[in-house]
């Protein structure tokens, strides 16, 4: 129970970190760096940091047998690592960055909130079945209603259809990666460290290769280098490691709903950073999103507590 509460706290913290990425990305794009180059650099830096700082300690623990109980039961084949890198980073993150280049941040946030939730539930229906609990699906529907209300009336202005399509495709990658991650953790095929390091490096290499091939080389400045390093180290390595660890104790539905906290978080950051104001119906939408997430989590925790009490008796 304590580990689940800690996992919930860490997952929420990660959403705040990722929410700040929207504003860092906007600044980086204004400096002339392309979305694939930016995301590729971010994830290669993040994987390098994980490898240099945490890998020696990780190998020492393995050698000393202190983590024998958590060692993988078998080595996943290469195509699984490639699929994790492509789905979780090249698709879920790279395509999202490309969509942010074409759309306004609020539009991207709206599409991701609905797309991620629907894609996670669709993949879950085909596989794990964790959303068939009578709580997750209604909670997701209330969340989607809050998103729709927040952005009513839907006015994309000059937003391009290609940008919308890119963000929706990134949601498909996100859902597939989330489900694969949890399946590998549940079957003890890997651990949070490797599930973060290896796919992040693969996805970063793919994205940077695309950026170098199809985008103009950016003019690096001190401020831009600082933003890229922050995205790689804090928003990349640290955040993704915490997110992957939390999935050991959260279901795919939990993670998907928590990830949607980014919608009200981005709104609050806009108020603080850009002095933006919202209408009454938009605040109502934020409240619906938060209420859906909180109700689902409380309901799940009560069921876990009852199940634990039943086993102990």
Q: What is the pLDDT of residue 307?
A: 63
Closest-CA residue to 174 (of 256, 107, 241, 236):
256
- In this prediction the pTM is 0.77
Q: What is the pLDDT of residue 96?
A: 93
Range of the domain at 135: 2-312
Closest-CA residue to 24 (of 2, 39, 36):
39
Q: Are 105 and 266 in contact, with CB atoms under 8 Å apart?
A: yes
Q: What is the pLDDT of residue 102?
A: 85
Token pair in block for residue 30: 């204004």
Residues of the chain with pLDDT below 70 are 55-74, 124-134, 154-160, 252-253, 256, 297, 300-313
Q: What is the pLDDT of residue 59?
A: 61
Q: What is the pLDDT of residue 28?
A: 94
Domain total for the chain? 1
Q: What is the pLDDT of residue 71?
A: 55
Sign of CA dihedral 37, 42, 45, 47: negative
């Amino acid at each position: 129970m304590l580990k689940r509460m800690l996992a919930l706290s860490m997952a929420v913290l990660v959403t705040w970190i990722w929410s700040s990425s929207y504003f860092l990305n906007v600044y980086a794009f204004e400096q002339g760096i392309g979305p694939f180059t930016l995301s590729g650099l971010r994830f290669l830096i993040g994987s390098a940091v994980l490898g240099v700082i945490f890998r020696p300690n990780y190998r020492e623990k393995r050698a000393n047998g202190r983590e024998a109980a958590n060692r993988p039961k078998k080595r996943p084949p290469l195509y699984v690592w490639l699929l994790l890198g492509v789905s979780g980073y090249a698709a879920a993150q790279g395509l999202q960055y490309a969509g942010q280049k074409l759309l306004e941040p609020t539009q991207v946030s709206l599409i991701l909130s609905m797309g991620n939730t629907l894609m996670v539930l669709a993949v879950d229906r085909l596989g794990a079945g964790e959303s068939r609990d009578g709580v997750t699906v209604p909670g997701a529907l209330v969340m989607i209603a809050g998103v729709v209300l927040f952005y009513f009336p839907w006015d994309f202005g000059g937003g391009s259809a290609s940008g919308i399509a890119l963000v929706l495709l990134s949601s498909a990658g996100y859902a597939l990666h989330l489900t694969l991650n949890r399946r590998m953790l549940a079957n003890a095929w890997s651990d949070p460290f490797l599930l973060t390091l290896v796919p992040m490096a693969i996805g970063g290499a793919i994205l940077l290769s695309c950026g170098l091939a199809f985008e103009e080389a950016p003019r690096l400045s001190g401020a831009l280098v600082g933003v890229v390093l922050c995205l790689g180290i804090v928003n990349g390595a640290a955040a993704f490691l915490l997110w992957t660890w939390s999935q050991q104790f959260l279901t795919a539905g939990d993670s998907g709903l928590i990830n949607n906290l980014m919608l009200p978080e981005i709104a609050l950051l806009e108020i603080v950073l850009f002095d933006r104001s919202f209408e009454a119906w938009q605040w109502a939408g934020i409240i619906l999103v938060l209420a859906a997430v909180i109700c689902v989590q409380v309901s799940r925790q009560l069921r876990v507590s009852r199940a634990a009490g039943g086993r102990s008796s």
